[in-house]
Structure 1
């Protein structure tokens, strides 16, 4: 089928299922994680909808996950019920289990107490989601994407695969998502637009990271997409349950969500609908995904702490997107000089550069929203 419009009017020829792009990662990480989750027998793409919808003891009880292999089924059970707590998939610690066993009374045990401070064996929700998509067939992927969208979670757009060293464009999985919105131009008539999201003519704004960055890109995105009356965690970030656990297979994942106005000027962050993409991981390690976003987005916001004055990754790209640099750097002369050189090579103006020396606040989010509005 042909897919266009959502990516700034570009037309992409898509294979009947999905198209793949190559990126590099390690095979052992995926194998190890699938074993931890008990999904090794379901990889690749053998988890069926009939398996997920089976009714058994786990389905009708609300027992928390006791081991890592329970986590995927906990997530799927909650997701099928469109429960917004589905991503809070965390197994009970030994200390919590002992408290339950003793009816709320337990002896002081420093070993168990300090075990809870170590997150090395806790799994990042993005790893669980990535693993499930890799193990699921086409129908399950569609159902998961649909239910995640209904929960207002971001959904995979480019799915990384450490085993086959490929990245899959998830258009087939998104085909059942239908959205309804009312842009400012329709507010007077009280009309609205309802359509499959992959067929809608929406500009896309992308957010990426270059190197280490002290700003939480995903948390800023959540603030950006939430109106003043209600905050919602569309993207997983480090302050969420297990959100600061190290990612094992989900770096390289590109997530997408959609901001859809309701036609109320006092509530709408954007007056027109827009797609928002978020790349997990450093663009230096995922150049294919970064290149894809530069070719399909109206604007790409690059978050950084420091810049190399040469920075070929940015300056050598043939950008169709407008580039914005969002920095959280100290005012060191060398860093400022490097930023000037990169900005000059990219032909940027002051309006394309946002600098912050402290934690980014709501006012800075409004600045980003204003730039997004101009590009949409």
Structure 2
């Protein structure tokens, strides 16, 4: 690509040199500094925003990338795109291949056997690799409308969750890749009122499908994304990237505030956890910090599953729960720090030290109970149209 710049070697900025990063002529002042650094490391400086075209994606797809793994950060996004275009589900786990050190194992010194060097954690964090979903989202922010449609269609073919709500990095405005999502088709089997099995093939955004949303309030040691992966397919194929996925790091910047969507499409078997197609939305990050996304989710959801921190009695958490309960939306609360709830009939679920299968069964049972009581279902497309007209969100298309 002729308009790409190389941000490697001597041209790559040092994270400690904030002044140089801020004054770079290649970057846009509207981007947060931390985000600028990611684009520098990936070599995407001149491609933000929205400068990657379909032709660029296809040219990357035609490249003969002989190495199994990229050797520099600036190669990461090309390898990611190349594998995604080939529908390689391992595309999200691409990372730099550094020289391997000789494997040696020695007996630990008895004097410092129980010392693990906690005091040097900061230097270790500085050398960590780029989070896979930062690569994923950086490419998304750099694609134009037509490339974005191709990008999302490939994500869908790989059975990955799709970006639904994406904060604009420069303006903070909540955007929806509407046209790209309108092209996504899903197939599922459902049972009619007469008991006969019906196979449905529809553009999923215009289909009347119930929405189950998952949000987190505060912080938690439990992974909400992993719970959702277990609900979808017993975590056999992670639609959502969780902290337990290969390549995860503590430094994740571009995914916070993003709401991803996937669909549970039943096959007609009695073993299916839902007998109708259900949309599953995952809001990444603390919902308190993303009020616009939370408002949209409250508008469209049939039920919201709320993951609470280990100590839910903190004043900020208590106030957040009260605000959520003031709405008319059915809520199910997952308590990260509770091992047992006395009553099994209310909307609280203990999530601490729970067997994955048991936790999944209890969540699905309560969600299904709520869904069975609801008859009025609108399409997600109509909800999005209403939110756009009210100014809450906007489309990414130009």
**TM, length-normalised to structure 1:** 0.78
Residues of 2 paired with 1:121 and 1:237: CA distance?
A: 17
Q: What is the deviation of 1:260? A: 0.4
**2:295 counterpart SS class:** helix
- In the alignment, what sits opposite 2:64? 59
Residues of 1 paired with 2:171 and 2:242: CA distance?
A: 27
Residues of 2 paired with 1:232 and 1:144: CA distance?
A: 19
Residues of 1 paired with 2:357 and 2:123: CA distance?
A: 33
In the superposition, relative to structure 1, how do residues 67 and 354 fare at CA in structure 2: closer, same or farther (>3 Å)?
same
Residues of 1 paired with 2:146 and 2:154: CA distance?
A: 12
In the superposition, relative to structure 1, how do residues 216 and 73 fare at CA in structure 2: closer, same or farther (>3 Å)?
same
Are residue 163 (structure 1) and residue 170 (structure 2) matched? yes
In the superposition, relative to structure 1, how do residues 312 and 269 fare at CA in structure 2: closer, same or farther (>3 Å)?
same
1:1-376 matched pairs, under 5 angstroms: 27-54=32-59, 58-95=63-100, 106=102, 120-185=127-192, 189-226=196-233, 231-266=236-271, 268-305=272-309, 306-307=311-312, 308=314, 311-317=318-324, 319-330=327-338, 350-376=345-371
1:130–1:159 CA contact under 8 A, matched in 2:
no
- In the alignment, what sits opposite 2:381? none
2:257–2:293 CA contact under 8 A, matched in 1:
yes
In the superposition, relative to structure 1, how do residues 47 and 351 fare at CA in structure 2: closer, same or farther (>3 Å)?
same
Residues of 2 paired with 1:351 and 1:330: CA distance?
A: 15
Greater length-normalized contact order (CA 8 Å, ≥ 6 residues apart) = 1
Residues of 2 paired with 1:129 and 1:198: CA distance?
A: 23
- Greater shift after overlay, 350-359 or 84-93? 350-359
Residues of 1 paired with 2:225 and 2:216: CA distance?
A: 10
**2:186 counterpart SS class:** strand
User: Moved runs in structure 1, 4+ residues, more than 6 A?
Assistant: 114-117
In the superposition, relative to structure 1, how do residues 26 and 140 fare at CA in structure 2: closer, same or farther (>3 Å)?
closer
**Long gaps (5+) in structure 1:** 1-24, 100-105, 337-347
2:60–2:81 CA contact under 8 A, matched in 1:
no
Q: What is the deviation of 1:280? A: 0.8
2:338–2:350 CA contact under 8 A, matched in 1:
no
2:217–2:287 CA contact under 8 A, matched in 1:
yes
1:187–1:263 CA contact under 8 A, matched in 2:
no
Q: Deviations over 1:9-39 (max 9, x none)?
A: xxxxxxxxxxxxxxxx971122111111111
C-alpha RMSD over aligned residues: 3.1
Q: What is the deviation of 1:55? A: 5.8
- Greater shift after overlay, 59-68 or 140-149? 59-68
**Long gaps (5+) in structure 2:** 1-29, 107-120, 372-398
**TM, length-normalised to structure 2:** 0.74
**2:346 counterpart SS class:** helix
